[in-house]
Amino acid sequence: MGPELSRENLVNAVLALALLAAPLIAVALDEPFYVTLASRVAILALAGVGLNLALGTGGMVSFGHAAFFGLGGYVAGVAALHGFEGSHFIAWPLEIGGSEHMLVIWAVALVVTAVVALGIGAVSLRTSGVYFIMITLAFAQMIYYFAISLPTYGGEDGLSIYLRSGLPGIEAEDPLTFFLVCYALLLGVIYLLHRLVDSRFGAALQCARMNPERLATLGIAPFPVKLTAFTLSAMITGLAGALFAELNGFVSPAMLSWQLSGEIIIFVILGGVGRLFGPLAGAALFILLESFIGGLTDRWQLVLGLVLLSVVLFARGGVIGLLAGKARHD
Amino acid sequence: MSAAFFIEQLLNGVQLGVMLFLMAAGLTLVFGVMGLINLAHGSLFMVGAFFCSWIAGQTGSFWLGLGGGFLAAAAAGALVEVLVIRRLYDRDHLDQVLATFALILIFSELARWVFGDRPLYLDIPPVLSGAVPLPGGGGYPAYRLAIIGVGLVTAVGLYLLIARTRLGMQIRAGESDREMIGALGVDIRTLYTAVFALGAALAGLAGGMVGALQSVQVGMGEPVLILAFVVIIIGGIGSVKGALVSAVLVGVTDTLGRVFLPQLFGLILPPSEATSVGASLSAMSIYLLMAGVLAFKPKGLFPVDA
Amino acid sequence: MRNGYKGAVLALAAGTALGLGVALGAAQNTAQAANLKIGMITTLSGGGSSLGIDVRDGFQLALNEAGAGDVELLVEDDARKPDIAKQIATKFIQRDKVDILTGIIWSNLAMAVVPAAVKDGVFYISPNAGPSALAGKGCNPNYFNVAWQNDNLHEAMGGYVQDNGYKKPFILAPNYPAGKDALTGFKRYYTGALAGEIYTKLGQSDYAAEIAQIREADPDSIFFFLPGGMGIAFMKQYAQSGLDVPVFGPAFSFDQGILGAVGEAALGVKNTSQWSKDLDNAANKAFVAAFQKEYGRLPSLYASQGYDAANLILAAWKKAGGIGDKDAFRKALEEADFASVRGAFKFASNHHPIQDIYVREVVKEGDVLTNKIVGVGLKQHANAYVGDCKM
């Protein structure tokens, strides 16, 4: 698909602009809460964009992406704790302390999630279909129970981040600045993925999803391609987790729970599987439902359930599919 | 450690396993026949427990309650199949996961709406209350023995149903070739509804029986659901025999892990730390078991389409 | 292609609606101006919702009785999720400009919300959760807990078990911070030998393996902290085990809202609580009667905590002549000049209660299971973290 103004590209552009406009309007009206809400949308969308690479492009239905989301969050939390206390994460043989530098935290979050995802992926990708769904769920549950009983880092109570980390010359404590950082990351990652999907690697990955035998006859083994995509996908979700922890000033095992894995899947499907901006549309709709209906009734989970069900049954392409017509691939 | 203690723990493991089997049997049948992954199976477990305790509370009879819970879960299953699930058979697993996730939310809020916010109460029937003495000292709750009995009878019943009856033949045919049985003149829609309702009824039965041992409340189904998934994955999805073997394996692993891991760590760590580390590791034990099995047998212990 | 732009127009409309929503929210906000605005974040849906509902109802009852028309109470459901609680708190503080936050039931949610909220200059009055992190090093001048510090009820039980000559208790709790605090709190006041100590999985519903271990250890008493459904499951299974060892625990597993679900298995169990419906003081009698009349059920521990939280706030608000002068309001809160349903009540220097903790026994009144006071566990008890709190 070239750069010409297709219907989906137009929808995407409007979505991206709307997400940027909402907090700017909010600041103009002195309503900082909506800036926070927009940051939440951007971050959860980023988590969904990560999953979408595995799930949409690669056809790997991971029901355990909360593991990576939570790990990223814990990296931010643990770094902030040690930075705040001036203590060390590891004292020997290397001195590794905490950090209040955002880039360092991002880098560590990326590395940690990459390592864990390589391990989980190497085992899980031996399976496929429902087995893959369930084994990723099982790994996430293991990490969840591990975090709950981890006394050093708060266990079930979680960890507070008293001071948001910063970038040189950028004051991320300011809600709008923090939003812009998240927004820039979201668009940057979407752009990179767009390039990736159009690359040779992307072609191989899509082929691995649709016709692995054919890929093998071309002399490319599907396993390393899928493992790479799975790991990249986990890293993006992990980065989102680090941002989410910074946004909330808090990380807890709830970020690792299987319900959260479900929610990330919801963002992807609600928006439209395999579509670049699908997770953004999905996350935006989810957050709007959650915060507006949640304010109106205690039974909002019932409403949410009905909405989700209707999307699956009647709007198969998700929100973007509704707005932009036929699916980009199939 | 006495022999009686070991026997008691083994029985505990088997009892947990048998209960998991009731849940897993439905899941694995539905997957084997219709190719559907159903996250809302835990909600049917909850429906069984709620109706069982509500009817038992109204009538004073546990047995009426148990029957009612069984039927209510079957009815709820049939209703959901006709309204929603039916539309999901030719969708991919992703749509199925999301739609049945949505059903969990809907079931939970409806249950809260109908039965209120407080946990319900369900008493063990007087016939089965108290403990039965074990050889070598100690005792074992009669009610838990009864659960083991019901589970084993169900397993045998399911085997006979699948191996010996017309319905069973259709189920087996459906597992091996879905287009084929339509051609044989079987009303496939009714068959699917029946299989789904049967799975739901077994979940409801498990819910009703377990309801007397724990609190009947919203959200009680999900932890059991996840365990049941672990069971069918280890056993091989679609295999009822695999579900039985793996349910008992998971039940025993979980129980023995909880008991012996803390003691094992007690040999090298101070007591307070040992119990804590042991407890953490035992919470992960069945997931480790599952990862281990899948690493060597990616389609479970009893692969259906090997 | 003509039709191709329909989607874009729709998306644009959605974007505009979002902006409009922001503007509308803002307009709505400036329209109403109450003198005192309280934001309540509590659990109203899913498992554990009965606790939040009781806190809310108790709180609302106190507001109704005071006829406080110039107090506005906003209530939202956190669904027991830390990030949702945090989001609601942000909304209450930034959009609704509340003066006070309250309502959180669970320690992990409190830890997500409280440190940032008090940093923003909002008061937080806790009607339940009292994690040690907020009582010791993390204490704050704007944070008050009206209920208890998390360890309190366990400490009182430890003392009671020791004083009554038990020599070999078996203790168990879930493997998470509050569970560890519970057993530590128990052992702070029970200093003898233990028959055994177990941490169970959080959310576990089958205790057969643990009960067998208890049987094997042959204890003379059992102390457990298993909140919510875990405690119900444990008690029901324990009753079937053929074991007959006296059971002790904090009030959470034996309170009014939950006793019905535990059933007869709870009869005779001793539990510790800072409140009981048979406490003999005028405020409590009026509260129990009014709550029953308003809601048609007996009040629980949580309802009493919500009621006390509201009355504390109202008393301080009256005394300080509003909340404009935050220092005066804080001072008035510290004086805690209100008629608590527990009788004597004052704050320790770390803003947690100094109060009597009673020992109650589960009894049957007619057909209803309920509690009656049989003794005092600890008199005028504060908490172990007062010394760690510098403010």
> Residues C206-217: pLDDT tens digits?
898 899 899 889
At a CB cut-off of 8 Å and minimum separation 6, what does A169 contact? none
Q: Which two tokens stand for residue B3?
A: 């022999």
C115 touches chain A (CB under 8 A): yes
Least confident of A209-213, A281-285, C210-214: A209-213
Question: Which ipTM did the prediction report?
Answer: 0.84
Q: What 3-state DSSP class applies to C276?
A: coil
Q: Are residues C214 and C142 in the same domain?
A: no
Q: Which two tokens stand for residue B101?
A: 């996730």
Contact at 8 Å (CB) between A270 and A281? yes
Q: How many CA atoms lie within 13 A of B266 on its CB side?
A: 13
What is residue A170's DSSP assignment?
B
For chain C, what percent of residues have pLDDT higher than 70? 91
What is residue B306's predicted lDDT score, i.e. its pLDDT? 42
Q: Are residues C204 and C333 in the same domain?
A: no
Contact call for B84 and A306, based on CB within 8 A: no
pLDDT digits (tens, 9 = 90+) for C169-192: 999 998 887 888 899 999 999 999
Q: Are residues C58 and C204 in the same domain?
A: no
What is residue C26's predicted lDDT score, i.e. its pLDDT? 46
Q: Are residues C121 and C263 in the same domain?
A: no
Q: Provide the residue range defining the domain that includes C168.
A: 152-273+356-388
Question: Strands (DSSP E) along C205-352, which ranges?
Answer: 221-224, 247-250, 270-273, 346-347
Residues in chain A within 8 Å Cβ distance of C111: 154, 157-158, 160, 250, 252
Q: What is the pTM of this model?
A: 0.86
Position B34: which residue type? M
What is residue C28's predicted lDDT score, i.e. its pLDDT? 46
Q: Are residues C93 and C67 in the same domain?
A: yes
Residues in chain C within 8 Å Cβ distance of A38: none
What radius of gyration do chain A's Cα atoms show? 20
**Cross-chain CB nearest to C47 (options B2, B143, B218):** B218
Residue of chain A with shortest Cα separation from C110 = A157
Q: Are residues C74 and C169 in the same domain?
A: no
Q: Are residues C40 and C139 in the same domain?
A: yes
| Number of domains into which chain C is organized | 2
For chain C, what percent of residues have pLDDT higher than 90? 60
Q: Are residues C92 and C141 in the same domain?
A: yes
What is residue A153's DSSP assignment?
G
Distances (CA, A) of A189 to A47, A182, A195, A265, B44: 11, 10, 10, 18, 41
d(CA C104, CA C109) in angstroms, rounded, equals 7
What is residue A171's DSSP assignment?
-
At a CB cut-off of 8 Å and minimum separation 6, what does B97 contact? A61, A63, A133, A262, A265, B37, B39
Instruction: Specify the DSSP element, H or E, that contains C355.
Output: strand C353-365
**Cross-chain CB nearest to A248 (options C26, C83, C94):** C83
**Average pLDDT of the residues of chain C:** 87
Best of A6, A7, A17, A33 to substitute, by most chain C Cβ atoms within 10 angstroms, is A33
Contact at 8 Å (CB) between C86 and A248? yes
How many beta-carbon contacts under 8 Å exist across A and C?
A: 148
Q: Are residues C159 and C287 in the same domain?
A: no
Contact call for A31 and C94, based on CB within 8 A: yes
Q: Are residues C88 and C188 in the same domain?
A: no
Best of B81, B103, B280, B299 to substitute, by most chain A Cβ atoms within 10 angstroms, is B280
Q: Are residues C80 and C161 in the same domain?
A: no
| Interior/surface letters C300-337, b for 16+ CB within 10 angstroms, e for the rest | bbbbbbbbbbbbbbbbbbeebeebeeeeebbebbeebe
**At C93, which CATH number?**
3.40.50.2300
Contact call for B220 and C209, based on CB within 8 A: no
A210 touches chain B (CB under 8 A): no
What radius of gyration do chain B's Cα atoms show? 20
What is residue C142's predicted lDDT score, i.e. its pLDDT? 95
Q: Are residues C188 and C60 in the same domain?
A: no
A155 touches chain B (CB under 8 A): no
Assign C126 a pLDDT band (cuts: 50, 70, 90).
Answer: very high
Distances (CA, A) of C378 to A86, C130, C154, C259: 39, 18, 11, 24
Instruction: Specify the DSSP element, H or E, that contains A296.
Output: helix A278-296
Q: What 3-state DSSP class applies to B141?
A: strand
Q: What 3-state DSSP class applies to B233?
A: helix
Q: What 3-state DSSP class applies to B185?
A: coil
At a CB cut-off of 8 Å and minimum separation 6, what does B199 contact? B25, B26, B27, B29, B30, B38, B41, B44, B77
Residue in C110, B222, C149 with CA at minimum distance from that of residue A144:
B222
**Cross-chain CB nearest to B12 (options C53, C212, C216):** C212
Judged against a pLDDT cut of 70, whether residue C25 lies above it is answered with: no
What is residue C222's predicted lDDT score, i.e. its pLDDT? 96
What is residue A328's predicted lDDT score, i.e. its pLDDT? 45
Peptide linkage before B125 cis (omega within 30 of 0):
no
